[in-house]
Amino acid sequence: MKIIITGATGFIGRNLAESLHDEGNQITATGRSRQVGNQLIKRGIEFTACDILDQDSLKSAFSAADLLIHCAGRTADRGSYSEFYQVNVVGTRNVIDACRQNDISRIIFISTPSVYYSGSDRFNVTESEPLPRKQFPYGKTKLIAEEELQSAAKEGISSIILRPRAVYGRYDGTIVPRILELSAGKKFPLINGGEAMVDITCIENLASAIRNCLAAPVSSWNQVYNISNGDPVSVREWFSTVLDIFNRPFRPKNIPGPLAYGFAGVMEFLSKMSQGRIKPAMTRFSVGYMSRSLTMSIEKARQKLGYRPGISNREGFLRYREWLEEQKESE
Ligand SMILES: NC(=O)c1ccc[n+]([C@@H]2O[C@H](COP(=O)([O-])OP(=O)(O)OC[C@H]3O[C@@H](n4cnc5c(N)ncnc54)[C@H](OP(=O)(O)O)[C@@H]3O)[C@@H](O)[C@H]2O)c1
């Protein structure tokens, strides 16, 4: 298949570009970072630098294709609503327009389960449950992007929207690196004792979900799917597993949720007052993410996409460690 990938210079998009290329698909990888772009080119993958906020650059990067995987997005845990809106909403709109101009009629969009976050514990959430009205800018703007894609169906552009939770694996520069960084301190901060139950997703399982999407029947398109390893864990177990695999000490220290939330609010205020010079150690979004349970049903993906998460939570971390070791050896 000829597949265009946006955000192919980022963690998820790069993994997809490499694995789908290795499986014999013709990939056009796009993104802003020329440095990562050159590494993709070295691997034999076609790369075109492209900013999704610049319609001219999108025009020259896109050409006719069987399908587009839209991974580009603003993923930071901080930033103003308009910063998120620009990339996640305006950027997605531009990508849909560029697809229309190039007769690309199928889009797979990597959205997020952050749209489910309500500030309360939620278990086994399905895709059809009502969504909270109040959202953090990230979740809110990803949800608007989903709506943009859903409206494009009227004009013949079909989409599959995936909501994978806490993705980890090779090229991940966020989740596992942050856990390892925190383990270097005297105590490892665990909000609410790390009791919150969460889903996590290794990149191999997400890639297999995407493969299933490529082969999915028409009736499985224009739908939203939760994606995870299908094995929820407590935050405490998640972090201790990672540290065990990386042979690092785990010295947890409980931080009550309300205290962490209040502290994060003050940090965000100071950051805003200093026009971003002060970087908050935690944000209300990240505290909510770690202190509230959010587990999801993946039954719909099993039924309609034939999704089977074949890699366990632990195996995913082991693979990531092996990959990091290979990287170090080749340096
Ligand atoms: N990682 C997770 O756990 C997770 C979970 C659920 C959903 N998601 C979603 O999955 C997608 C990919 O996430 P990720 O973890 O791979 O994030 P990431 O590593 O931060 O990658 C983001 C990608 O978006 C690109 N991008 C940002 N602004 C752009 C712009 N204006 N024009 C063109 N490209 C732009 C970046 O390009 P450059 O680096 O070249 O600037 C990068 O390739 C995101 O949409 C995110 O919402 C991620």
Query: Given this model, what pLDDT does residue 286 score?
Result: 82
- Inside any domain, residue 248: no
Query: Given this model, what pLDDT does residue 63 score?
Result: 94
Burial class of 327 by CB neighbour count within 10 A (0 to 12, 13 to 18, 19+): exposed
Distance between Cα 253 and ligand 1 center (Å) = 32
- Inside any domain, residue 144: yes
Q: Is the CB of 37 under 6 A from ligand 1?
A: no
CA-to-CA distance for 212 and 215, rounded, in angstroms? 5
Distance between Cα 88 and ligand 1 center (Å) = 10
Q: Which of 251, 226, 248 is nearest to 236 (CA)?
A: 251
Structure tokens at 328: 């170090």
Query: Given this model, what pLDDT does residue 59 score?
Result: 87
Here the CATH number for the domain that contains residue 217 is 3.40.50.720
Q: Is the CB of 137 under 6 A from ligand 1?
A: no
Q: Is the CB of 88 under 6 A from ligand 1?
A: no
- When divided into structural domains, the chain yields a total of 1
Count, residues in the chain: 331
- Inside any domain, residue 100: yes
Atom of ligand 1 nearest to the CA of 86: 31
Q: How many Cβ atoms sit within 10 Å of the Cβ of residue 224? A: 20
Contact 195, 156 (CB under 8 A): no
Residue range(s) defining the domain that contains residue 214: 2-169+201-228+295-311
**Rg of the Cα atoms in the chain:** 20
Structure tokens at 47: 């790369």
- Inside any domain, residue 71: yes
Distance between Cα 13 and ligand 1 center (Å) = 7
Measured CA to CA in angstroms, residue 46 lies from 30, 38, 101 at distances of 9, 9, 21
pTM of the model: 0.95
- Inside any domain, residue 47: yes
* Pocket test residue of 36, 71, 117 for ligand 1, highest count of atoms within 8 A of CB: 71
- Inside any domain, residue 194: no
- Inside any domain, residue 141: yes
Q: Is the CB of 161 under 6 A from ligand 1?
A: no
Q: Is the CB of 32 under 6 A from ligand 1?
A: yes
Atom of ligand 1 nearest to the CA of 71: 11
- Inside any domain, residue 146: yes
Query: Given this model, what pLDDT does residue 219 score?
Result: 97
Query: Given this model, what pLDDT does residue 199 score?
Result: 98
Consecutive 10-residue runs of the chain (331 residues): their mean pLDDT?
Answer: 98 98 98 98 97 93 96 90 97 97 97 94 96 92 98 96 97 92 89 95 98 97 98 97 96 90 86 82 82 96 98 98 92 80
Ligand 1 atom 22 nearest Cα = 10
Query: Given this model, what pLDDT does residue 257 score?
Result: 87
